[in-house]
């Protein structure tokens, strides 16, 4: 395998790296929520009990539907074009979920989930910047992939704890 990698042209390496990034980006961003989104509802500023759960899960279902409408990239250039709108959708979800005001422990759990989501967004922003400027090496890509996998698992677990399974895989 290493000899095959060493014999790659820069173009082949870029294509392979883009494929890995594509899997990474789609897996992290598209894996949010269930495959059949519920009809979105407008969240109220304060939510408790079933209202919070319905509003939060609807926000995540809507986000998933928006992500599913984005064309899937298959080249480095398409990946660079895919990430900005995907990250914008992710940020809108975090903003809308942040406007919910669940009562009790769900508020603390939601805050932790949103903090983790913001950290994941920052990491993906950095990845986009490095891809855009051609600064991403294969070893760095493997590190980013490991970090994002760990962070995505943390985000999913925290959303489940907050009672929002539609926001998790």
Domain ranges in the chain are 45-167
* The predicted structure's pLDDT at residue 8: 46
| pLDDT value at 165 more than 90 | yes
Condensed to tens digits (0 to 9), the pLDDT of residues 7-55 reads: 445 555 454 454 555 555 544 454 443 333 333 444 444 455 778 899 9
Does residue 85 surpass a pLDDT of 90?
yes
Residue 160 has pLDDT above 60, yes or no: yes
* Residue 69 pLDDT grade (very low, low, confident, very high; cuts 50, 70, 90): very high
**Residue 79's closest CA among 122, 31, 129, 139?**
129
pLDDT of residue 49: 73
Lowest mean pLDDT among 24-28, 71-75, 120-124, 145-149: 24-28
* Beta carbons within 8 Å of 28's beta carbon, 6+ residues apart: 120, 124, 148, 149, 152
Residue 66 clears pLDDT 60, i.e. is over it: yes
Please provide the average confidence, as pLDDT, over all residues in the chain.
Answer: 76
- Confidence (pLDDT) at 43: 41
Which one of 21-25, 76-80, 111-115 scores highest in mean pLDDT? 111-115
Sign of CA dihedral 93, 99, 102, 104: positive
Q: Residue 148: is its pLDDT beyond 60?
A: yes
Query: H helices of the chain, where?
Result: 2-6, 10-30, 49-69, 76-98, 105-132, 138-161
């Amino acid at each position: 395998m290493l000899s095959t990698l060493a014999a790659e042209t820069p173009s082949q390496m870029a294509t392979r790296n883009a494929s890995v990034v594509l899997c990474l980006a789609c897996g992290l961003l598209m894996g949010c929520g269930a495959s059949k989104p519920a009809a979105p509802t407008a969240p109220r500023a304060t939510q408790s009990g079933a209202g919070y759960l319905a509003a939060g899960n609807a926000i995540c279902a809507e986000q998933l539907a928006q992500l599913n409408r984005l064309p899937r990239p298959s080249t480095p250039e398409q990946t660079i074009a895919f990430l900005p709108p995907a990250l914008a959708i992710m940020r809108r979800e975090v903003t809308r979920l942040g406007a919910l005001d669940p009562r009790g422990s769900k508020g603390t759990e939601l805050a932790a989930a949103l903090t983790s989501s913001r950290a994941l967004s920052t990491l993906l922003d950095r990845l986009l910047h490095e891809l855009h400027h051609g600064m991403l090496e294969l070893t760095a890509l493997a590190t980013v992939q490991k970090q994002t996998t760990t962070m995505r698992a943390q985000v999913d677990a925290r959303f489940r704890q907050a009672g929002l399974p539609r926001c998790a895989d």
